[in-house]
Amino acid sequence: MNDEKKQLRFPPRYRYMLIKIATLTLLFLVLFFIIGVYGLHATSSSKFCSSCHEMKPEYYTWKASTHSEVDCVKCHTEPGIKQIAKDKADGVIKGLRNEQVTTAAIIRMPKEILNSKCEKCHNMATREVSASGDIIIPHQQHTDKKIKCTQCHSNVAHGEIADRNMTFKTDYDKWDSKVGKAAMADLKFIRPKMETCMDCHIARKITTECSACHTTGMVPDSHKKADFKTKTHGIIAKTDLKDCNACHKYMSTATLEGYEEVSVIDKYLNQDSGQSNKNEHTYAKENTFCQACHKTRPASHTQSFIGSHGAQASKNEEKCYTCHEPNRSNTASDNTVNCSTCHQMKHRNNWRDRHPIPVENVKKPEARCYTCHAEKTCTSCHKSNKD
């Protein structure tokens, strides 16, 4: 009886249908798996990244970089199939939501690349070869202190193109392999910057001595000339103060402001922080490294120099301004010797209020003035009433 019920429940024609459905389902699952695997592989290729219009700059700079043999997903996704699938889904959703915009579309990483990504190719424990030139970089010591690779090497694959304002939508169509190579050609946008190293060392209270990171001491060729210290360094500073400051700002115990290059946007908006009066003369007075020499009395300033200094100053006043103030008022706060130290030109500031006799109506020096003051001193600046 039970056998008869089973036969009635599953007649031959239904058995055939069930087998057909099961077979089609299995084929569908196999096909879906194959498509999924193929799709995962296809969307994991760097070429797939370039299919997104906004990613052209990143793709072509990567292609021109030293990491061109490493696919994008090797660095830009978390480990694991689950995370890769999530990244794919997020990419599709963002693509569907893409809106037409005319502003800058700057690509920023939501997270820093993990050290483990870099160490798949670069083993810090065995990395004995240091950077090019004379630079000393103990990678393992940095790793031991939990310094992330990207803190120094964040530009190796894309050359700061976002910060260089090269990722505007209006420029997408211009990008190709040639533009990518040009963008990556300037090594200053790829290699770690000295400022990054110095800022980190200062923040962590680590030495900033040149010899700590450079085997040669980093002394420029111009500094090795015999007359550099006594004659030419001031002339060089007048034209290349930004280069001087790049190294010497770290040698000053006082904070230096106003000597960095003004950004393009600040120039455009005329927001230069009012520091346009900064020059090589103010730098020599504000940088304590310079003061070590500039506060020493020059050999030319002998005892007889007082009598001839006026004639010497008239030949090259700018040379005097390296140590002295360019005006006659005694505005220095560090006991710097200025004109007013000897010439007593303090009468410029409310001098009438403190004058021993009434001089409210005196506009120019008069004969009675020379009872106390030297006529030659006064008339060097003021014309007498006879003129």
Q: Where are the domains of the chain?
A: 2-40, 41-212, 221-297+316-346
CATH number of 41-212: 1.10.3820
Only one residue has tokens 């056998």, namely: 3
3-state secondary structure of 135: strand
Inter-residue contact 36 to 44 (CB < 8 Å):
no
**Phi, psi for 322 (deg, rounded to 5):** -65, -35
Q: What is the pLDDT of residue 174?
A: 85
Residue 136 CB burial class (10 angstroms; 0-12, 13-18, ≥19): exposed
Give 45-88 pLDDT, tens digit per residue. Answer: 666 676 776 788 888 999 999 898 888 888 887 654 445 455 55
Q: What is the pLDDT of residue 184?
A: 92
Average pLDDT, the chain: 75
Q: What is the pLDDT of residue 250?
A: 86
Q: Which residues of the chain have pLDDT under 70?
A: 1-20, 22, 24, 28-48, 50, 53, 78-110, 127-132, 261-276, 326-337, 340-349, 380-381, 383-387
Give the integer Cα–Cα distance in Å for 106 and 56.
Answer: 12
**What is the dihedral sign for C-alpha 324, 329, 334, 338?**
positive
Q: What is the pLDDT of residue 330?
A: 46
Q: Which residues pair with 104 in a beta bridge?
A: 168
Q: What is the pLDDT of residue 146?
A: 87
Q: What is the pLDDT of residue 103?
A: 42
Give the integer Cα–Cα distance in Å for 137 and 247.
Answer: 18
Nearest by Cα to 370 from 362, 380, 360, 378 = 378
In 22-170, the DSSP E strands lie at none
Give 352-369 pLDDT, tens digit per residue. Answer: 777 778 888 877 788 888
Q: What is the pLDDT of residue 64?
A: 92
Q: What is the pLDDT of residue 194?
A: 86
Q: What is the pLDDT of residue 107?
A: 55
Q: What is the pLDDT of residue 263?
A: 57
